[in-house]
Structure 1
């Protein structure tokens, strides 16, 4: 599997190390080019300038740095089949989810795939979360993501819109 990782700080760098252990072919980029080059050297990956990562021919694009990275222009240039990453607020505007969908790019909505932190904080704040409960809910994230994709397939709606609808149902809005 070929993965292009934008942002190789703690999240993106950790992801790169895990994927390298599993044999993924990695392309790395960071605004700190030296950091990307150092990690690429460590992992046997390729480093590219930050502005080149979106046009890298890859299977998965993983944004792990800047928000609003997925715009009308960047989506048109994207060569990945899947977008899944740790950055918050990846879509510049709501319509960008539909743009990804129209191009046949499988999108893992950021607040679904990255729900672990908010689950932990939310349960702690509400006084309802011991460690076992937090871990159990985090373990259900992949199942929730599959639910989003399945509903997107059935309805023809972008996964980002489906995730929004599910979130509204879950919080009673």
Structure 2
């Protein structure tokens, strides 16, 4: 199967298979759309079971970045790259530098950053061979973790969901079920707990789970059943595809609002959520805080404090999506995608004739 025949291929502008036999690199770079500006999206390192699985992931993720950046009003297109490898490898830095050389060869059409398996410190390793990297640890010399941008956006999104459900955005006394306690999920938990929320949490990493349970007084749940835990909001913050034919009938929450990418296993699952009366905050809206805050080096945007304020715009965006979905009889995912598509169409229409 070629990328053109793949069911996740969506008129991607460029899909590049990269190889460096000397260091053992196999990766894929996907540029979905550069209408609004250079493609931007992270580098994911994961031991995919097959190259087909890696291709599916990078095609879906890159398209998601187009939607995310467009909906957020950023002058950026959508792209992503993946490295097929265990991020615990001792020679991880060599793989990252090798991928950096391939990104560099694109001459700025694509900017990469952090993602699953690639930390801000790892982004600095990529930057040793590439000028087109953002979200680097070295950009934040006081130790600030740029993944906190994503968590802050998630916190803003959860408040918008609570506002829609209850007419009151305060997390105090609300029960939030968080799946995935990496840096982003853990920081979201901290923000929610400080605001008075009761936390139900799960992670396959027992050390990460214990840390959140002990530090924040959270209730641990079996990772295979976190989606079914009784809660006001279910927040998926791990890998994608968690909303599917098996889990949606078992959901224990009134709403889904998390920071994982591609939470819907298939587009039809947005309709399944709506049919169950579950409010869904589209993932590429709720998790846009990271790219909003960290991409400033690309487009000369605001300082960190201004970035945090801009991320708060996720709340009004969700308010508008929820209202439009109700008025037009659409799913929230359909409305969010239409909003992004409308911005792309306007940009294309404004281009001077060739």
* TM superposition score normalised by structure 1: 0.91
Partner of 2:231: 58
Who is 1:77 aligned against? 250
Q: How many residues are aligned here?
A: 172
Kindly name which structure, 1 or 2, has the bigger radius of gyration based on alpha carbons.
2
1:80-159 residue pairs with structure 2 within 5 A?
Answer: 80-120=253-293, 124-125=297-298, 127-131=299-303, 134-135=307-308, 137-159=310-332
Of residues 37-46 and 24-33 in structure 1, the stretch that sits farther from structure 2 once superposed is 37-46
In structure 1, what is the Cα distance between the partners aligned to 2:179 and 2:214?
Answer: 16
Counterpart-to-counterpart distance in 2, 1:111 and 1:169: 16
Between the aligned partners of 1:13 and 1:134, the Cα distance in structure 2 is 21
Question: Does the 8 Å contact 1:33/1:49 carry over to 2?
Answer: no
Give the Cα separation in 2 of the matches to 1:42 and 1:119: 29
Deviations 1:79-100 (A, max 9, x none): 1001001111111000011111
1:147-167 alpha-carbon deviations (Å, 9 max, x no partner) = 110001111111011101111
Q: Which runs of 5+ in 2 are unaligned?
A: 1-173, 347-354
* Equivalent position to 1:9, from 174, 182, 190: 182
* Structure (1 or 2) with the greater strand fraction: 2
1:41 and 2:232 are equivalent in the alignment: no
Q: Using structure 2 for the length normalisation, give the TM-score.
A: 0.46
Cα distance between partner residues in 2 of 1:146 and 1:93: 24
Deviation at 1:44, TM superposition (A): 1.4
Listed as ranges, the gaps of 5+ residues in structure 1 are: none
Q: Compare the two structures and name the one with the higher helix fraction.
A: 1
Aligned-residue Cα RMSD (Å) equals 1.8
Divergent runs of 4+, >6 A:
none
Residues 41-50 or 131-140, more deviating: 131-140
